[in-house]
Amino acid sequence: MSTETMTNVPVHISMIMDGNGRWAKERGKERVYGHFEGVESVRACVEASLEYGVKYLSVFAFSEENWNRPEEEVVTLMGLMVKAMAAEMEALNKNGVRFMVLGNRDRLSDEINTEIDACMQMTADNEALTLIVFLSYSGKWDILQAAKKMALEMIRHPEKREELENMGVDGFDRFLVTAGIPDPDLIVRTSGESRISNYMLWQSAYSEFLFVDTLWPDFRKDEFRKALESYAKRDRRYGKVK
């Protein structure tokens, strides 16, 4: 299916990038080798998103739970992310891609946060595609920090008590780190695992899910197209009868 004939393209597609370690192990390499190759898959998905007209592409790069991995791997991953951001930003900016990082950034080093801020500022006005990297993120953490924000707002602004008590689901969205970003239409997890691993728990309430056996370093444009084709066949009811 070509870009001209692709129909029902998701506004927001999200990737749970899994299988880097296994991919490397199958080739007799250290786990970090798979992470390096996984950067190429992110690049391929960005290019495909631009070609097919996807407006938001998000990737689950590093969870809160990933901090429990061996220190050497964590250090290598963080270094890789800094280098990847610096290396890709000129091309992303040239192609109209807005870059964002969402997550518990308090746990990141000053060096990484400085690089993130510079990249986000450089691309802030771009509109062709928004690339969101979830870094040091978990769904439960996101909901908890949103609840804390809401509680603090009630304490600091008692005049808003009635407004907050009567607030609906849409109102709560503004306290999440994804405020202003549409919920994912399609979430793809690679490597054959069939779980969401504490990822966008609130935002994925009505997302379509696709679990594929492909390991993340092998997930390139052809696999991205197949994911879009699978989504195009879905009938999204949102709890209603059609």
Cα separation values, 134 from 81, 168, 200, 241, Å: 12, 26, 10, 34
Backbone angles phi, psi at 192, to 5 degrees: 90, -5
Ranges of H-type helices in 157-207: 161-165, 169-172
Known catalytic membership, residue 8? no
The residue from 8, 18, 68, 125 that is catalytic is 18
CA 187 – CA 204 distance, rounded (Å):
8
CA 89 – CA 91 distance, rounded (Å):
5
In the numeric block, which tokens belong to residue 210? 């696709």
Known catalytic membership, residue 18? yes
The residue from 20, 66, 170, 183 that is catalytic is 66
Give the residue numbers marked as catalytic. 18, 66
